[in-house]
Amino acid sequence: MPRYALKVEYHGGGFVGWQRQTNHRSVQGTIEAALARLEPRDHTIAAAGRTDAGVHGLGQVAHCDMTRDWDPFRLSEALNYHLRNDQIAILDCALVADDWHARFTALERRYLFRLLMRRAPATHLKGLVWQVKNPLDIDAMRAGAAHLIGKHDFTTFRSTICQAESPVKTLNTLDIRAVDGPNGPEAQFDVRARSFLHNQVRSFVGTLERVGAGSWAPQDVKTALQARDRAACGPVCPPQGLYMASVVYPQDPFG
């Protein structure tokens, strides 16, 4: 059975998350239903990462196994036809080796978080950003974020329902930049690692927002990390504003 890599974009607002759930609308289940329209049978796709309810995809990557030898462009076009009303789009499609795996072959996952800083309610960006009413100290947030880079026990920043075998992860990048967007100033977080714990990025952002607001000192982030205690974490920010931005592989399957 030929295997295809899919680059997937989606608006997470209307889904319970990526993972298929009985009697609930998921990104995975919706794509699998579209595949079943092309080849009537049960389909199971695998993704580079499982995003939660309300989290968006800019460059999520998944793979599917088909019976027919599809031209990749034709397969993406056919899927987009059946997904046209679902706020999901297949941005690219490529034939890959039979042992290529969207999750296990990946070297790095990259997430983007958008934090809008303005008092007026968001209109065009509603559901696409986390909004706070007051400006944040970006330099202080960067100083706090510096304590998180590298290999650490991230127990403080993992959900209590996280199923990962170990809380030890290596965080490659946590950059924060100020963006003067057309809808107001944003703090945008670029977060990169080979793999993440459940709610890790949202725990980072919620904690660093407290630093930017002046409630925490940058050094308090290090203290929280070293506590290895979920109770030491700052607030977990909402999913709106979080995007799976891209996935890195040894060789880009999409060329």
**Mind listing the pLDDT tens digit for each residue in 155-167?**
999 999 999 999 9
pLDDT at 212: 98
Residue 211 — pLDDT band, cuts 50, 70, 90? very high
pLDDT at 113: 98
**3-state DSSP assignment of residue 143:** helix
- Contact of 248 with 218, CB cutoff 8 Å: no
Q: Which of 42, 52, 137, 190 is catalytic?
A: 52
Active site residue 52: yes
Cite the beta strand spans of 3-98 per DSSP E: 3-10, 46-47, 56-65, 88-96
| Interval 34-45 mean pLDDT | 98
Tokens 């959900």 belong to residue: 159
pLDDT at 50: 94
Using CA atoms, how far apart are residues 30 and 86, in angstroms rounded to an integer? 8
What is the CB-side half-sphere exposure of residue 244 using CA atoms within 13 A?
Answer: 31
φ, ψ for residue 163, nearest 5 deg: -100, 5
Taking domain 3-105, whether its CATH number is 3.40.50.150 is answered by no
pLDDT at 46: 98
How far is C-alpha 235 from the chain's CA centre? 18
What is the CB-side half-sphere exposure of residue 221 using CA atoms within 13 A?
Answer: 24
pLDDT at 118: 97
Rg (CA), the chain: 19
Domain boundaries, the chain: 3-105, 108-246
Using CA atoms, how far apart are residues 121 and 159, in angstroms rounded to an integer? 29
User: 220-245, pLDDT tens digit by residue?
Assistant: 999 999 999 999 999 999 999 999 99
- Contact of 51 with 17, CB cutoff 8 Å: yes
Bridge partners of residue 113, in order along the sequence: 189, 242
| Interval 142-158 mean pLDDT | 98
Could you tell me where the DSSP H helices lie in the chain?
A: 27-38, 72-82, 138-145, 200-213, 218-227
| CATH class assigned to 108-246 | alpha beta
User: 77-116, pLDDT tens digit by residue?
Assistant: 999 999 999 999 999 999 999 999 999 999 999 999 999 9
pLDDT at 110: 98
Q: Please give the structure tokens belonging to residue 133.
A: 């009413």
Per-residue buried b or exposed e for 183-195, using 16+ beta carbons within 10 Å of the residue's own CB:
ebebbbbebbbee
pTM strictly above 0.85: yes
Domains 3-105 and 108-246 share a fold: yes
Q: Please give the structure tokens belonging to residue 44.
A: 């199971």
Residue 18 — pLDDT band, cuts 50, 70, 90? very high
Q: What is the DSSP string of 153-196?
A: E-GGGS-TT---S-SEEEEEEEEEEEEEETTEEEEEEEEEES--
Question: Which has the closest alpha carbon to 154: 247, 222, 215?
Answer: 222
How far is C-alpha 231 from the chain's CA centre? 24
pLDDT at 4: 98
pLDDT at 243: 98
User: 179-189, pLDDT tens digit by residue?
Assistant: 998 999 999 99
